[in-house]
């Protein structure tokens, strides 16, 4: 992670300044993934989370290192927010042997057990079931589990089954919906009856809140309440974090379906701009913020160079390891 010196900032602000660095890292990482994709170094597709960085970062700020998370196909953002090493994540995205999963998972299926990332899922809603399982185990170990998922996933059966299961068993689970108002090219109101995601928790008696998902401070505040509830035996919470993805769903989507002016409106509330302004208001200097950015940029450059120099995994080794005896 970024090794920027945050010592000059007042104590209370330091965790937020570190999170600002983490948000920068996710943004720069994804811009780099876009370049690597265009150059042909990153194969297949990838799903950028640019515009949504405050959500995983703010939630993970409220977690302990040994807590669990499960993410989506935008999971490189979730994993980096939880503390996965930058070089390993770059190498994983470009399929190199030094990757977090040995270069075998690519962009959508990262697992990083050491950092509590139980999995990232290409199956819409898969993270909800995985995190619910992690919460069942976490209940015995004083660990909280978080599921990150999109608005579209709230129409999957997993969502309702897991809310029921988690409430009945009083599991330490935080359900974090990244509501970016679209599932691929379909707007929320055309796919989701009622179009109110937070309220879907109410029949289950699960506390819920709508959160400004572009405001790091608002996400941290909501996350702390939900995580404290989970850890102290109060059971699950659903957070509907409202946000916007700046790019299309994946590399094959030019996002032509969005009404004119919508992206520009959301860009004015870019989570990095909002967080930077808030940190300035809290007394952090421009120089400190710039230093965090510079350290993050340097860390990423070094990680990309190292990942590009690493070899691809040897398919013969995979066969030996996974073939039945």
Q: What are phi and psi of 211, to 5 degrees?
A: -130, 140
Q: Identify whether the C-beta of residue 51 lies closer than 8 Å to the C-beta of residue 271.
A: yes
Give the residue with the Cβ less far from Mg ion, 132 or 179: 179
> Is position 276 an interface residue for ligand TPP (rule: CB under 6 A)?
no
Give the residue with the Cβ less far from ligand TPP, 88 or 152: 152
> Is position 192 an interface residue for ligand TPP (rule: CB under 6 A)?
no
Least Å from the CB of residue 250 to ligand TPP: 8
> Is position 115 an interface residue for ligand TPP (rule: CB under 6 A)?
no
> Is position 180 an interface residue for Mg ion (rule: CB under 5 A)?
yes
Stretch that binds ligand TPP, among 91-99, 147-155, 235-243, 259-267 (CB under 6 A): 147-155
| Strand-strand pairing, 186-187 and 208-212 | unpaired
Q: Identify whether the C-beta of residue 266 lies closer than 8 Å to the C-beta of residue 54.
A: no
Q: Identify whether the C-beta of residue 81 lies closer than 8 Å to the C-beta of residue 112.
A: no
Task: Report the distance separating Cα 244 and Cα 277, nearest Å.
Answer: 19
> Is position 151 an interface residue for Mg ion (rule: CB under 5 A)?
yes
Query: Which residue from 180, 241, 225, 173 is spatially nearest to 204, judged by alpha carbons?
Result: 173
Mark 50-89 with x for binding to ligand TPP (rule: CB under 6 A) and - for no binding: ----------------------x-x---------------
> Is position 150 an interface residue for Mg ion (rule: CB under 5 A)?
yes
Query: Which residue from 194, 156, 195 is spatially nearest to 175, judged by alpha carbons?
Result: 156
Give the residue with the Cβ less far from ligand TPP, 74 or 82: 74
**Residue at token pair 């030996």:** 320
The entry of Mg ion, ligand TPP, none that residue 184 binds, CB within 5 to 8 Å by partner kind:
ligand TPP
């Amino acid at each position: 992670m970024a090794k920027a010196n945050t010592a000059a900032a007042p104590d209370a602000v330091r965790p937020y300044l570190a999170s600002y660095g983490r948000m920068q890292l996710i943004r720069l990482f994804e811009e780099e993934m876009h370049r690597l994709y265009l150059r042909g170094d990153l194969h297949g597709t990838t799903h950028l989370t640019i515009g949504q960085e405050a959500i995983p970062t703010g939630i993970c700020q409220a977690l302990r290192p040994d807590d669990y998370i499960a993410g989506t196909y935008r999971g490189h953002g979730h994993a980096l927010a939880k503390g996965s090493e930058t070089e390993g994540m770059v190498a994983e995205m470009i399929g190199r042997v030094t990757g977090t999963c040995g270069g075998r998972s690519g962009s959508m299926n990262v697992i990083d057990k050491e950092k509590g990332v139980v999995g990232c899922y290409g199956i819409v809603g898969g993270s909800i079931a995985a995190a619910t399982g992690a919460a069942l185990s976490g209940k015995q170990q004083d660990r909280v589990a978080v599921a990150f998922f999109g608005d579209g996933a709230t129409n999957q059966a997993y969502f309702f089954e897991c809310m029921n299961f988690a409430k009945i068993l009083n599991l330490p689970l935080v359900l974090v919906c990244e509501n970016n108002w679209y599932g691929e090219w379909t707007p929320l109101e055309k796919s989701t009856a009622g179009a109110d995601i937070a309220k879907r928790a109410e029949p289950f008696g699960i506390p819920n809140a709508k959160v400004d998902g572009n405001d790091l401070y608002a996400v941290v505040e909501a996350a702390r309440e939900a995580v404290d509830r989970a850890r102290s035996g109060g059971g699950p919470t659903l957070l509907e974090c409202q946000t916007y993805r700046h790019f299309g769903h994946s590399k094959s989507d030019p996002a032509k379906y969005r009404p004119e002016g919508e992206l520009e409106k959301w860009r004015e509330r870019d989570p990095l701009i909002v967080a930077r302004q808030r940190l300035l208001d809290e007394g952090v200097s421009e120089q400190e913020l710039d230093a965090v950015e510079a350290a993050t940029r340097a860390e990423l450059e070094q990680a990309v160079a190292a990942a590009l120099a690493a070899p691809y995994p040897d398919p013969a080794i995979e066969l030996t390891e996974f073939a039945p005896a």
